[in-house]
Chains A and B, each alone.
Chain A
Amino acid sequence: MSVRHSLLALLAGEPAHGYGLKSGFEASTAGTWPLNVGQVYTTLRRLERDGLVKPTGTGDDSRQTWRITPQGRKELGQWFDTPIPGDPPQRDELAIKVLLAVATDRDDIADMLQSQRVSTMERLQAYTRHKRRADPQAELPWILLLDALILQAEAEVKWLDLCEARLQKRKKR
Chain B
Amino acid sequence: MSETRLLFDGASRTFGSGRTLVEALRPTHLSVDAGELVAIMGPSGSGKTTLLALAGALDRPSSGKVFVAGQDLASLRPRQLAVMRRRTIGYVFQELNLLPGLTARENIALPLELDGMRLSQAHQQADSALDEVGLFDLANRFPDDLSGGEQQRVAIARAFVGSRRLLLADEPTGALDSVTGEVVMRLLRKHCDAGHTAVLVTHDASHAGWADRVVFLRDGTIVDETGASPDATERPISHWPSPSSP
Contact = CB atoms under 8 A, between A and B. Distances in A.
A46 interface: yes
Contacts of A2: 244
A44 B98 CA distance: 61
Contacts of A43: 246
Nearest to B225: A118
Given A121-B226, A151-B206, A158-B205, A132 B246 contact: no
B237 A33 contact: no
30 contacts: A2-B244, A3-B246, A35-B243, A42-B246, A117-B224, A118-B216, A120-B205, A121-B205, A121-B214, A121-B226, A122-B226, A122-B227, A122-B233, A123-B233, A124-B206, A124-B209, A125-B214, A125-B226, A125-B227, A125-B230, A126-B233, A128-B206, A132-B189, A150-B206, A153-B205, A153-B206, A154-B204, A154-B206, A158-B205, A164-B43
B223 A114 contact: yes
Given A122-B227, A124-B206, A157-B205, 17 more contacts: A1-B244, A4-B246, A33-B243, A43-B246, A114-B216, A115-B224, A117-B216, A118-B224, A121-B205, A121-B208, A121-B214, A121-B226, A127-B237, A128-B210, A129-B234, A132-B186, A153-B206
Contact of B246 (A39, A120, A127): A39
A33 B241 CA distance: 7
B216 to A, nearest CB: 7
A150 B225 CA distance: 19
B211 interface: yes
Contacts of B225: 118
A134 interface: no
A109 B223 CA distance: 15
B246 A154 contact: no
A130 interface: yes
Contacts of A128: 206, 209-210
A150 to B, nearest CB: 5
Contact of A33 (B186, B189, B226, B240): B240
A39 B243 contact: yes
Q: Chain A CB within 10 Å — which of B224, B237, B246 has the most?
A: B246
Interface string B2-22: 000000000000000000000
A64 interface: no
Q: Chain A CB within 10 Å — which of B206, B209, B234 has the most?
A: B209
A140 to B, nearest CB: 14
Contacts of B245: 3, 39
Chain B residues touching A, range: 20 to 34
Q: Chain A CB within 10 Å — which of B210, B226, B230 has the most?
A: B226
Contacts of A42: 246
A94 to B, nearest CB: 15
Contacts of B208: 121, 124-125
B209 A127 contact: yes
Contacts of A33: 240-243
A58 interface: no
Contacts of B189: 132
Contacts of B211: 125
Interface string A79-120: 000000000000000000000000000000000001101101
A108 B211 CA distance: 28
B237 A130 contact: yes
A125 B209 contact: yes
A16 B175 CA distance: 48
Interface string B155-173: 0000000000000000000
